[in-house]
Structure 1
Amino acid sequence: MKIKDTYKTIKAASPEVLFKDKNSKFFGYAFPIDSEDAVKMHLEHLKKEHHTARHWCYAYQLGKTEKTIQFRANDDGEPNNSAGMPIYGQIQSYEVTNILIVVVRYFGGVKLGVSGLINAYKTAAQMALDASRIITKTINVKYVISFDYKNMNKVMRIIKERNLKIINQKLELSCEITIVIRLNEAKSVFESFKNLYEVEIKELDL
């Protein structure tokens, strides 16, 4: 059975988008991220850029597989679930991950009510995603193969047969070859090398 080894994210930060409702302005931004530190960095930057705004609401999701997904939605002072969750709803709707969406609100003097806020934050998030280039990436595994030079031929034969991508190699008396491979094929490749006499294989963190 094949496991899903692709995920969707955005290629680069979106251009700024603007949604207006009853004089309130909602500026939307989408950013590709790979850590919570990146979330803090983008938020700090936007708070400086929009230092007179009233709210900086956001949602993000990290993780490439269902088991590793983590997310957060923040209303930043707006009524409960009127901002962060509508933004997160768009992340789910577009099925993207490793992404942060921030919607910055300037209050226009007229209250929009909860349904108006939900619509505004959802729309600004949707506009930011529509303005982004969504790409599909593969989920990869990285292995290092260690062996003595005399075993080079049998290691290279598997690498050629399976068309594996080498990203690093050290070929001396004791050799190390680092390969990167799609998650779907990782188990069978691991077994191929594990069964070789005098050859070691171990997984590395990506």
Structure 2
Amino acid sequence: MQTIDQIFQTQIDIKKSTFLSFLCPFKDFKFLIETLKKEHPKAVHFVYAYRVLNDFNQIVEDKSDDGEPKGTSGMPTLNVLRGYDLINVALITVRYFGGIKLGTGGLVRAYSDAANAVINNSSLLSFELKKNITIAIDLKNLNRFEHFLKTYSFNFTKDFKDCKAILHIKLNEKEEQEFEIFCKNFAPFEIEKL
């Protein structure tokens, strides 16, 4: 899977219609589409598609044709995102109608081309699926445990509850194996998985 960490933009013109495409991290999607609608009040369509992982590591997808004939814009855009195996991204295409109707096939090609253009103009990053692990540990053992996490550059946050430190750790598959080995060797200290 691949993702991005910033917004990318391209423009293509097809039969006097202008297609402005924006590829953004999903976290920026709502703000960006609202901003684009304000910045482009004369545009006739704001087509979008997105793919995002939810808290259960399931891919959630959505799309909108925004007034274009059904299936001619949102679905082709989503299919391009799927083809590049992009995740946690949204793609918005703003269309300015140029007076020439493109027809159903022409719209599918135009929106697919617009989506491909912005993706090809983007810097794609490798996406690594991370598992969330939550553990509770006695405060007296926290320093040793934190030292291990920092040594391996594990991404974690901590809270405190009932004289225990609650650690929320994000691990990829390899990191999870190292973490499990460390936990076994951490005995006799008590580590409680939540």
* Shorter-normalised TM range: 0.7 to 0.9
2:58 matches 1:68: yes
Match of 2:4 in 1: 10
* Matches for 1:107-126 after TM superposition, within 5 Å: 107-126=97-116
Find the aligned partners of 2:155 and 2:61 in 1 and give their Cα distance: 33
Find the aligned partners of 1:92 and 1:76 in 2 and give their Cα distance: 20
* Matches for 1:100-139 after TM superposition, within 5 Å: 100-139=90-129
Segments of structure 1 that go 5 or more residues without pairing to the other structure are 1-6
> Is the Cα contact below 8 Å between 1:11 and 1:132 reproduced in 2?
no
Match of 1:87 in 2: 77
> Is the Cα contact below 8 Å between 2:142 and 2:165 reproduced in 1?
no
**Which of residues 139, 145, 159 is equivalent to 2:148?**
159
Match of 1:78 in 2: 68
SS at match of 1:124: helix
> Is the Cα contact below 8 Å between 1:13 and 1:30 reproduced in 2?
yes
**Which of residues 2, 9, 33 is equivalent to 2:26?**
33
Find the aligned partners of 2:172 and 2:100 in 1 and give their Cα distance: 52
SS at match of 1:138: coil
Q: Which amino acid aligns with 2:19?
A: F
SS at match of 1:31: strand
Match of 2:34 in 1: 44
Find the aligned partners of 2:81 and 2:126 in 1 and give their Cα distance: 15
Q: Deviations over 1:26-76 (max 9, x none)?
A: 111100114xxx432221111111110111111011117995100111101
Find the aligned partners of 1:169 and 1:175 in 2 and give their Cα distance: 10
SS at match of 2:193: strand
SS at match of 2:86: coil
Distance 1:147 1:17, change over 3 A: same
Distance 1:199 1:164, change over 3 A: farther
Match of 1:3 in 2: none
Find the aligned partners of 2:133 and 2:93 in 1 and give their Cα distance: 36
Distance 1:166 1:45, change over 3 A: closer
Find the aligned partners of 2:123 and 2:30 in 1 and give their Cα distance: 23
> Which 10-residue stretch deviates more, 101-110 or 63-72?
63-72
Find the aligned partners of 2:42 and 2:11 in 1 and give their Cα distance: 16
Find the aligned partners of 1:121 and 1:176 in 2 and give their Cα distance: 51
4+ runs of 1 displaced by more than 2 Å? 64-67, 137-145, 162-170, 174-181, 183-198, 200-203
> Percent identity between the aligned chains?
28
> Is the Cα contact below 8 Å between 1:59 and 1:87 reproduced in 2?
yes
Distance 1:8 1:32, change over 3 A: same
Segments of structure 2 that go 5 or more residues without pairing to the other structure are none
SS at match of 1:30: strand
Find the aligned partners of 1:132 and 1:107 in 2 and give their Cα distance: 25
Tell me the TM-score normalised to structure 2 length: 0.80
Find the aligned partners of 1:121 and 1:166 in 2 and give their Cα distance: 38
The number of aligned residues is 188
